[in-house]
Amino acid sequence: RKAAQASDLETDRQTMHSHSIASGLAIARLVDNPDDPHLAQEAADFVEHARTRLALDNSAVTCAMMFSQPLIKMWVPHWKFAYTVGLAMGVKFTTEGFFLIDILEHVTQEFTLECLKAGEALALELFDWTSMNQRCRDFRNALVSVALESPPSARRPVPNMPTQFGPPPIDHVLIVDDSQIVRDLHEQLVLQIRPGAHVHCTESVADAVAYVQQSDERDDPVRLILLDLNLSLPDASSTRLEDIFGSPNGFDVAFALDEAESPDNAPAQDFRFKPFVAMVSYLADTVTEQGMVDGMVKPDGSVRGCDALLPKPLTLDSLRVLIEGCGV
């Protein structure tokens, strides 16, 4: 029976969205019970149920966790009520025409409408509404970071589901690496997970930044960028960080994109169309250690403008998390 339960759990993880898995783990940690797999699984099941029943996109799932986090801490052990209130706020923040009654009709009838209204009214008074776009991106990164701790299997293609906005967007991936072998390998991995993805490869900082800007102008935004650290020096595995940072490198791409989207250089853009920038490097551990010393590693796991930092070789399971997470 235990073997069957373990098999069912793994099957659930294979079909469940990585944001739902990460939300379940985050909820268990917020109620100070991270070692209880049953709580994390129960919470993940509830998030996935809400995601599929309401046809939510990543931005709504991310904002649901953002709004519910302080409520879960405040209303322990009533995490489900806290998350339900946060869910309603998150969907309202990202979607027009959503009402609390939709929770009762499509998600759960465990709580009365009056109870949900009272919880939402209190939450609205308590929530800090400053820097919302950046906070949404931070929570997106944090969910991806949690999911990468134990990524679900990607042994089969993961479908890109329709959302409340209509058909799913085409996955648009930019690969930036000075090695043709790595570019080809990463492209094959992306297409193995999402066979219909649009993949573009380049090897330079200038070409990468120009391509992202041109894609935005065509209203076909890049959703995921896979970056190498070293983009100019040979034998990167034995090169010092000081030498790499002094030459064209992946962080230059991340910095240029942030500069292009700063309020001083461009109109404010919807946070959902900010590419997820993932650096994949043999020196990932070294960069992370140095970033911890320099204070460049943020609580959401991002480093120097890169939303995630992963070691080479990139695994299929980790790439699935990145592809699922990049749609915010």
Q: pLDDT by residue (tens digit) across 66-76?
A: 999 999 999 99
Residue pair 193/316 in contact by the 8 Å Cβ criterion? yes
* Structure confidence at residue 56 as a pLDDT band (50, 70, 90): very high
Same domain, 149 and 237: no
Same domain, 151 and 177: no
Same domain, 186 and 304: yes
* Structure confidence at residue 10 as a pLDDT band (50, 70, 90): very low
Same domain, 223 and 281: yes
Domain stops at, among 71, 98, 125: 98
Residue pair 200/249 in contact by the 8 Å Cβ criterion? no
- The CATH number of whichever domain residue 242 belongs to comes to 3.40.50
Distant-in-sequence, close-in-space partners of 141: CB < 8 Å, separation ≥ 6 = 298, 300, 301, 302, 307, 308
Same domain, 309 and 176: yes
Exposed / middle / buried, residue 32 (Cβ in 10 Å: 0-12, 13-18, 19+): exposed
In a domain, 322, yes or no: yes
- Considering its fold, how many domains does the chain have in total? 3
Same domain, 141 and 283: no
Domain of 244 in residue numbering reads as 172-260+270-326
Phi-psi region of 243 (alpha: psi -120 to 50; beta: other; left: phi over 0): alpha
Flag whether pLDDT at 90 surpasses 70: yes
Q: And the tokens for 17?
A: 């969205």
Domain stops at, among 74, 98, 122: 98
Q: How many CB atoms lie within 10 A of CB 151?
A: 21
Same domain, 142 and 71: no
Residue 110: helix, strand or coil by DSSP?
Answer: coil
Flag whether pLDDT at 167 surpasses 70: no
Flag whether pLDDT at 240 surpasses 90: no
